């Protein structure tokens, strides 16, 4: 361990609490060297979809490895990346016609921001140099993505490097005052957004949002009604829209993508950019992409090289990652995953209800969007308890369940391979952990996790 520096971790804390050492995994379970199993209730940072070491994905990657492991994607293509682009376009709303690949969620955000800005510049809209994002939003930790991230813990120490952008209040339930209905709070937030766009639209390039769920904010959730109204407002003022579905894409919210649910609500509404990563390869290999419209693409189509989109990295469109993504899409189709997940979604809702019913003073603001469930852990009815959340996580780990609270916000985002029986085990351990907290005030888990 002496050479290793871990992300999102205060390394000094590991002196007393060494990191969990995992040597293998299968399905929804991680295993340490002693054979102890841990149900992976955070999908290994929200990336794993179909379970670890899925035989279909393993076989497809092994087959691809024997033919082509990598080639550049500048002026060169290969069958897996061509097929993946076509399949992503086929399964997303019709206006999204082009796919640009990158390697990480942050890189996808960088691509979308740069693409939006350059498009506006090349359309002669040179005053449009600003972006607007929701307060408490998280879009990555590279400098461009950090400029539209509003989480001080990630951003404050790098402020001299960050370009200031505009923010508008988050409509999420986690931030609503206790004495106001959620619908009324969302209406207030929408009014603020409309006022800002009315005053600033001539210099705003795009709105960027995490649709429905702000993950790193603590699984803060808001309605499709707000999202639809926000997109419509941007359309009215000629402001582009970026959907960051990096965390919520590929079925996490119940539908494959939030933009599909938006189109079902109003066929005229679609983001100009859709950013995907995490579940894109079902948690196997780093890959991300940005889908965009023919109109955006046409804005770069020119004989002059400098008017092209000159963003790249060495491993763009890696064949092994593309093959993993294709295998994941096959599993969705063959196993009817989204339909099968409905039973898991219902069982998670029942589990949340049981926690709130048995511990009404400890468990507050239970919330769920599809396969994402969360609650706030309280010291009393007014104050959240981040220290108790860390203690709860340590108890769960000792009893075979891996969770990682975000402050006082405890959440579950399990792989789709999770069984109903495994969910029953998880909620049973959570009930026991809450009882142990009240009885013995367990010592805090001294590790830092924020997203």
CATH number at residue 348: 3.90.1150.10
Of 258, 174, 189, the residue nearest 220 (C-alpha): 174
Confidence (pLDDT) at 448 = 34
Boundary residue ending a domain (302, 320, 335): 335
Give the DSSP letter of residue 406.
B
Confidence (pLDDT) at 363 = 96
**CB within 8 A of 108, min separation 6: which ones?**
102, 246, 275, 276, 277, 288, 289, 290
Indicate whether 199 and 269 sit together in one domain.
yes
Indicate whether 240 and 124 sit together in one domain.
yes
Task: Give the CATH number, domain containing residue 117.
Answer: 3.40.640.10
Q: Domain total for the chain? A: 2
The dihedral of CA 219, 276, 120, 268: what is its sign? Answer: negative
What is the tens place of the pLDDT at every residue in 348-380?
A: 999 999 999 999 999 999 999 999 999 999 987
258 beta partners: none
Indicate whether 67 and 173 sit together in one domain.
yes
183 is in an annotated binding site: no
> CA 429, CA 397: separation in Å to the nearest integer?
10
- Is 378 contained in some domain? yes
- Is 225 contained in some domain? yes
What is the maximum span of the chain, computed from C-alpha positions, in angstroms?
72
244 is in an annotated binding site: yes
Boundary residue ending a domain (300, 335, 370): 335
Indicate whether 273 and 292 sit together in one domain.
yes
- Is 451 contained in some domain? no
**CB within 8 A of 424, min separation 6: which ones?**
347, 351
Instruction: Report whether pLDDT(443) > 50.
Output: no
Indicate whether 48 and 77 sit together in one domain.
no
Whole-model pTM: value is: 0.95
Confidence (pLDDT) at 17 = 79
> CA 182, CA 221: separation in Å to the nearest integer?
10
- Is 260 contained in some domain? yes
Indicate whether 327 and 355 sit together in one domain.
no
Instruction: Report whether pLDDT(271) > 90.
Output: yes
- Is 394 contained in some domain? yes
Boundary residue ending a domain (318, 335, 352): 335
Indicate whether 314 and 343 sit together in one domain.
no
Q: Which class for 428: exposed (0-12), middle (13-18), buried (19 or more C-beta within 10 A)? A: middle
101 beta partners: 289
Confidence (pLDDT) at 444 = 43
Indicate whether 315 and 387 sit together in one domain.
no
Residue with tokens 């050479």: 3
Residue 295 pLDDT class (50, 70, 90 cuts): very high
Indicate whether 131 and 230 sit together in one domain.
yes
Residue 76 pLDDT class (50, 70, 90 cuts): very high
312 is in an annotated binding site: yes
Under DSSP, is residue 242 helix (H, G, I), strand (E, B) or coil? Answer: strand
404 is in an annotated binding site: yes
Name the token pair of 37: 């199993």
106 is in an annotated binding site: yes
Q: Which class for 49: exposed (0-12), middle (13-18), buried (19 or more C-beta within 10 A)? A: buried
Name the token pair of 21: 């050492």
22 beta partners: 32
Indicate whether 145 and 241 sit together in one domain.
yes
Q: Which domain holds residue 345?
A: 11-53+336-436
45 is in an annotated binding site: yes
Do 425 and 370 contact (CB within 8 A), yes or no?
no
Indicate whether 16 and 130 sit together in one domain.
no
Indicate whether 253 and 314 sit together in one domain.
yes
């Amino acid at each position: 361990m002496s050479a290793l520096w871990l992300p999102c971790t205060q390394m000094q804390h590991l002196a007393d609490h060494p990191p969990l050492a995992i040597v293998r995994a299968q399905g929804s379970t991680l295993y340490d060297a002693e054979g102890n199993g841990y149900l992976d209730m955070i999908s290994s940072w929200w990336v794993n979809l179909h379970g670890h070491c899925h035989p279909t994905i393993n076989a497809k990657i092994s087959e691809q490895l024997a033919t082509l492991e990598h080639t550049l994607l500048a002026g060169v293509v290969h069958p897996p990346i061509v097929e993946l682009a076509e399949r992503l376009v086929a399964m997303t709303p019709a206006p999204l016609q082009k796919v640009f690949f990158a390697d990480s969620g942050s890189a996808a955000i960088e691509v979308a921001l740069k693409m939006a800005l350059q498009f506006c510049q090349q359309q002669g809209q040179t005053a449009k140099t600003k972006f607007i994002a929701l307060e408490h939003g998280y879009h990555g930790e590279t400098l461009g993505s950090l400029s539209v991230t509003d989480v001080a813990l990630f951003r404050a120490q790098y402020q001299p490097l960050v370009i200031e952008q505009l923010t508008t209040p988050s409509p999420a339930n986690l931030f609503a005052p206790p004495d106001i209905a959620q619908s009324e709070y969302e209406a207030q937030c929408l009014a603020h957004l409309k006022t800002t766009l009315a005053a600033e639209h001539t210099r705003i390039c795009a709105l960027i949002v995490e649709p429905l769920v702000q993950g790193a904010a603590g699984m803060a959730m808001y309605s499709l009604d707000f999202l639809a109204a926000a997109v419509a407002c941007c359309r009215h003022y000629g402001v582009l829209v970026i959907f960051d579905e990096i965390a919520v894409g590929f079925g996490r919210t119940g539908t494959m993508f939030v933009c599909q649910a938006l189109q079902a609500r109003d066929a005229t509404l679609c983001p100009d950019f859709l950013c995907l990563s995490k579940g894109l390869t079902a948690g196997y290999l780093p890959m991300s992409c940005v889908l965009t419209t023919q109109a955006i693409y046409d804005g770069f189509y020119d004989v002059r090289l400098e008017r092209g989109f000159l963003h790249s990295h060495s491993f763009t469109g890696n064949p092994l990652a593309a093959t993993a993504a294709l295998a994941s899409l096959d599993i969705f189709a063959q196993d009817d995953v989204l339909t099968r997940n409905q039973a898991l979604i219902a069982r998670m809702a029942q589990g949340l209800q049981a926690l709130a019913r048995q511990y009404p003073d400890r468990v507050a603001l239970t919330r769920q969007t599809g396969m994402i469930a969360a609650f706030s852990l309280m010291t009393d009815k007014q104050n959240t308890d981040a220290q108790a959340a860390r203690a709860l996580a340590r108890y769960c780990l000792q009893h075979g369940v891996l969770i990682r609270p975000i402050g006082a916000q405890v959440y579950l985002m399990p792989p789709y391979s999770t069984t109903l029986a495994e969910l029953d085990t998880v909620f049973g351990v959570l009930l026991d952990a809450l009882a142990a907290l009240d009885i013995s005030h367990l010592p805090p888990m001294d590790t830092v996790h924020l997203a």
